[in-house]
Amino acid sequence: MATRRQFIQSLPAAGAAFAVAGHVVLDERPAMAQEAAPLEGHFHPKGKAPSIFTREVLKQARATLPFADKKDFEEQEKGFIAPMKELKIMADAGHVAWDMERFQFLEKQDEFDSIHPSLLRQSVLNNNYGLYEVIPGIYQVRGFDLSDISFVRGKTGWIVIDPLVTAEVARAAWKLFQEHTGEGLSVSAVIYSHSHGDHWGGVRGIVDEADLESGKIPIIAPRDFMEHTISENVYAGNAMNRRLFYQYGLLLPAGPHGYVGQGLGQGVSAGALGLIAPTRIVEDAIEEFEVDGVKMVFQNTPGTEAPSEMNTYIPEMKALWMAENVTSTLHNIYTLRGAPVRDALRWSKYISQALYRFGLEAEVMFASHHWPRWGNQRVQEVLRGQRDLYAHMNNQVLHLANQGVTINEIHNEYKLPQSILDNWFCRGYHGSPEHNSRGVIQRYLGFWDCNPATLIPLSPGDSAPLYVEMMGGAEKIMAKGRELHDEGKYMHAQEILNKLVQAEPQNQAAKDLLADVFEQIGYQQENPGLRNSYLAAAYELRSGIPQGETVDSSSPDVIRAMSTELFLNFLGIRMDSLKAEGMRFTINLITPDNGEKFLVELENATLTNTAGFLADDPDLTLTINRSDLELTMMGAKELEAQIADGTAKIEGDASILKKLASTMVDFDPRFEIMPGTKSRETGLAKANPYEAVPRETIAE
């Protein structure tokens, strides 16, 4: 069970229990007499109704967006075979792994004054929950997870594409499929379209260990798949997991004033994640071979939506699988949880190549999120629109950057052309034009706007007190902040209130007013990641970061997928350099069962490792099979115990391992983001010093 999930499960339910969570200063007297009253029916006791300004923004959107275009709804419903009757899918561990009940409110009203109409539309579309025919021989189960699972009829059985995030929901999808369409045939092959966890984590729900061992079921994946499955989120894993609380709104209950879905799907399932390594890697740019008697053409698209990803064309069926490269949204060039910025131009070019290689004849296009597109004209329309979307973003942002527009201005300057915005499938339900345009500049020019005042600036907490002083103190800022809030000038209000909160983290009235401002900005957003981030910050400013014990334990499959070098690199990140000052030693690490060796050095308060080398005169030689080392990496058996029972052999100064262990730090999965939101207790369980702690595998 992963940290984030256990943390979520440890939280009190929404409603009454917020009194418990709100230990910070929930009962503080409102700062100003005219403070807006809490909203009845809001999940938070301090939650506010959307203002007239917010309602006006949403009204404008309703009036100007292309709601007459119903194609998505027709395509989303087409081929419907059977609904999933149970709204909840249970995890083997006993908790709820998947819950569609919490999204039923979306169907009860045509509009909400606290949800952007475009986001509402997307979330209603994502409420599809059942089995669908794509064309005879291709089926999808949708709405069981963030992603879709697809089944293609092979000669002897079913080829499964992208088996969701966790085993329980994948198993439930397979069961539903078999009840109606599967003809009792077994899985004959598995294809992972790319390296993100929502495209492989549920594999153990659909294949038996025995079938795998016999090699009967090939597992096919794009080039460098294993290298990227977990490496993307190990080094900065704790930071990314914390940031997911914002991007994915993990603390927000589903409801009109909280979480309304994630754009790609309604959320991420909370069952058991597993990983089975692929047995067949598609290495070439284009490769063609039969999978269970079905001819498939694979197109590697590295460095697009994921570092390892591929599209697949099935000529006999004229069916084009666009992985996550073309879904019904503008995807992330920059992802708010944090990741290296993606290459919009390269992404666009791979779409264009797919268009000319497959799309001129394809009659259906399907993908790992959302719903298919039927008819060659529609396939081409969507491919062309998406190609131009990413190319425009790359080109026009750089066009502006070349005229001096900076990373701190581009989101206010860059606009997509209306002809692109009129396509629902190009709107920002995962990426947004705002944060993606900043991402493009970050990719090419980095964070600096070239103004020396921002080159090595003061930290916010150090600069804010000067602002507060010069602005005449907290009272004046509160009065002006209130005025701006009451005028609907939320962006201006956040500018000054943030300074006050940074300067006075314990000023609950300031935090509450900033939360009110964030909440209105959140309600106004079309993009769920932006909405969630503002609402999550509002939540934490009002209630503080919820407490509760967190426990780390990692999926053994994921640890096995972590290379020893990646593990050693991560130890270098876990090490507190201050604790290592003055230490100096050399370790030879040998793992005989896989023939690897590493020279590990601690010098200059820095831990490094060099694969393939050994020191001539090491201070310590540690010999342990990689398979045994994995037990230590997953926290199941301490290194000391491995040595004590002879599993690991050491030669030299044994005290070195203790010294190194003493420098290892556990990262707090609830570090503070907004000032003054953290309680004094961390409740952090102590990890094994040599545990890998990769945290949650991130879906996208």
Interface with Zn ion by CB under 5 A: which residues? 147, 198, 324
Q: By C-beta, is 72 or 198 nearer to Zn ion?
A: 198
Is there a contact between 194 and 309 (Cβ–Cβ < 8 Å)?
yes
Q: Considering the complex, what minimum distance in angstroms separates the CB of residue 444 from Zn ion?
A: 26
Q: Considering the complex, what minimum distance in angstroms separates the CB of residue 149 from Zn ion?
A: 12
- Kindly report the number of other CB atoms within 10 A of residue 352's CB atom: 18
Whole-angstrom distance, CA of residue 643 vs CA of residue 646: 5
The three-state (H, E, C) secondary structure of 429-446, written as one string: CCCCHHHHHHHHHHHHHC
| Radius of gyration for the alpha carbons in the chain, expressed in angstroms and rounded | 26
Q: By C-beta, is 54 or 325 nearer to Zn ion?
A: 325
Q: Considering the complex, what minimum distance in angstroms separates the CB of residue 158 from Zn ion?
A: 21
Q: By C-beta, is 182 or 265 nearer to Zn ion?
A: 265
Strand 187-191 to strand 158-161: parallel, antiparallel, or no bridges (unpaired)? parallel
Strands of the sheet containing 620-623, edge to edge, are 606-611, 596-603, 585-591, 620-623, 649-652
Q: Quickly tell me which residue has 């957003």 as its tokens.
A: 525
Q: Quickly tell me which residue has 């079913």 as its tokens.
A: 158
Q: By C-beta, is 324 or 691 nearer to Zn ion?
A: 324
Of all residues in the shown chain, the one whose CB is closest to Zn ion is 198
Helix (H, G, I), strand (E, B) or coil at 530: helix
Q: By C-beta, is 232 or 324 nearer to Zn ion?
A: 324
Q: By C-beta, is 324 or 516 nearer to Zn ion?
A: 324
DSSP string computed for 166-230 = SHHHHHHHHHHHHHHT-TT--EEEEE--BSSGGGTTTGGGTS-HHHHHTT-S-EEEETTHHHHHT
State the DSSP code for 115.
Answer: S
Question: What interhelical angle do 490-503 and 460-470 show, nearest 10?
Answer: 110
Q: By C-beta, is 304 or 677 nearer to Zn ion?
A: 304
Q: Considering the complex, what minimum distance in angstroms separates the CB of residue 273 from Zn ion?
A: 14
Q: By C-beta, is 147 or 588 nearer to Zn ion?
A: 147
Whole-angstrom distance, CA of residue 369 vs CA of residue 198: 10
Q: Considering the complex, what minimum distance in angstroms separates the CB of residue 165 from Zn ion?
A: 9
Is the CA virtual torsion 133, 137, 138, 142 positive or negative?
positive
Q: By C-beta, is 327 or 547 nearer to Zn ion?
A: 327
Q: Considering the complex, what minimum distance in angstroms separates the CB of residue 193 from Zn ion?
A: 8
Is the CA virtual torsion 95, 251, 335, 381 positive or negative?
positive
Q: Considering the complex, what minimum distance in angstroms separates the CB of residue 547 from Zn ion?
A: 32
Q: By C-beta, is 324 or 504 nearer to Zn ion?
A: 324
Q: How far apart are the first and last CA of the chain?
A: 19
Q: Considering the complex, what minimum distance in angstroms separates the CB of residue 373 from Zn ion?
A: 18
Q: Considering the complex, what minimum distance in angstroms separates the CB of residue 460 from Zn ion?
A: 33
Q: Considering the complex, what minimum distance in angstroms separates the CB of residue 118 from Zn ion?
A: 21
Structure tokens at 616: 């001539």
Structure tokens at 305: 């939506």
Q: Which residues pair with 139 in a beta bridge?
A: 133, 151
Q: Considering the complex, what minimum distance in angstroms separates the CB of residue 147 from Zn ion?
A: 5
Whole-angstrom distance, CA of residue 520 vs CA of residue 532: 12
Q: By C-beta, is 39 or 160 nearer to Zn ion?
A: 160
